[in-house]
Structure 1
């Protein structure tokens, strides 16, 4: 029987590199790897369902579950993780010295529903006493113009959201004092250019390490989704894909430990890797359901509390748990 041909859109991460080069091949599947920027992948998949398999914003995926007929199922594969304390920026001319000072302020965010900002709002509320509905959110393009939410939102009235005007962008508005803070994923261009634009958490590395030690959470940003109708026709592909993704991750981890020649341009990679493992342990990037149950549970609660998800999803409802059963658990 010939292999099933599937398209797969994803960033060219090191943990996906073996899949892109063909060093790892999913059993029974001819995978056409399309290395695309995440913004393009998310837009095309959410609006047009263009790919059989794709990387997907965890928040956007949860919102698709609000639909009467959700178009995707997710694998317990998480190609992007990021501590997001470091990507909260403030204009210090407004007197913001601590998270508590954000109360009552105007905060920019490219999209209210984006995964990074769901984590940021949740962490600020849970750890620093900044209620989700305690600020006014201003949405729009970080640098360019015309950005809109990828998915239509139906938020409770307690969430106050405004849109920026034509020709405006959040980076310049933060620098000019039209915004007090910015919750984002990418750093604004005004950071480093305008001296009064700074991190909310100046010593963010220590703050993020403390967060992990307390919670055991290395925040998941993206998952991998499969078209639901495709999975229903060929349920075996979930397990085949998971095994291949897991093997590609293992190879990337081995490459980081290779000292015969550096495969990334970091001359003190060994020291960086040792420090990271000392804090996060050996399994921080692991895929699979059980190892990530608490992370999924926390994010699902944040999404619901922030008026995004229309119900409080259990972790088992979010990803195909069975795809990872018996693999590296």
Structure 2
């Protein structure tokens, strides 16, 4: 297939693109390049790309593609909370605009990177794809709005699939240190202290970015009737952990590190466990290989291989999305709505 991946130059896309290429697909990227230059040790390999904001995508950008994978989004809760309306403009309007343009251009398949965060403050039970939504952030709400608005676009010629990814972790050359497993492992390696700012009791589902890539590849190659208008929790049911448990695993993997918890801190209201049995049934080709513990070991090894990695760089705008956005705004390169200013666009 010829596939367009929006947001390809980000954390997940930098890993997913090679997966798609290695499976024999032709891949083109579409990105606004907010994180250009924010690489760990080397830039990801270049591929043909279109430099455009998803809020400005036109059908002519998408002519000739068999499928679109929609990764582009403001990618975490702190960034989403920076300006809720801009979050909705990019994560909701931008995705729906891209889908409408894709349909008009004759694209047959549309894989949307949704999120388990739409379950939000869930009950203690495991949540499958039929569970009610209870988002607690603009990021989670934006994913719900997208799913609702993509459904009416579906017909015999246009097939959306909703890939509800668990909390991502794992190594990427476009590393993010603002994800819990990546962050705690970095703190353990660089400081010896895994200092939790909360009691660590909330539940989270976790999935490695390579397994996310495997899931998208399986959905892309599956017969249309299996994935048409389906919502799939992307992960493994066995990979739900309390944040406290993740910290303890990090302490076991990283020598000389210690996890500390703030029992008196305010609890995080984002608390949910997800059931991932459906994706196993719908996509038996999807064979996840990672566990959180293995991911911690991978991250620890990669951090040690980079002699220039310091606590300062780990917590800098290179690896923290909200700091990067604020930095670009302070430099006058991005406006308040996160559009590049014309004077600095490439």
| TM-score above 0.5, yes or no | no
Structure whose CA Rg is larger:
1
Structure-2-length-normalised TM-score: 0.27
Q: Give the number of the structure with larger relative contact order, counting CA–CA contacts within 8 Å between residues 6 or more apart.
A: 1
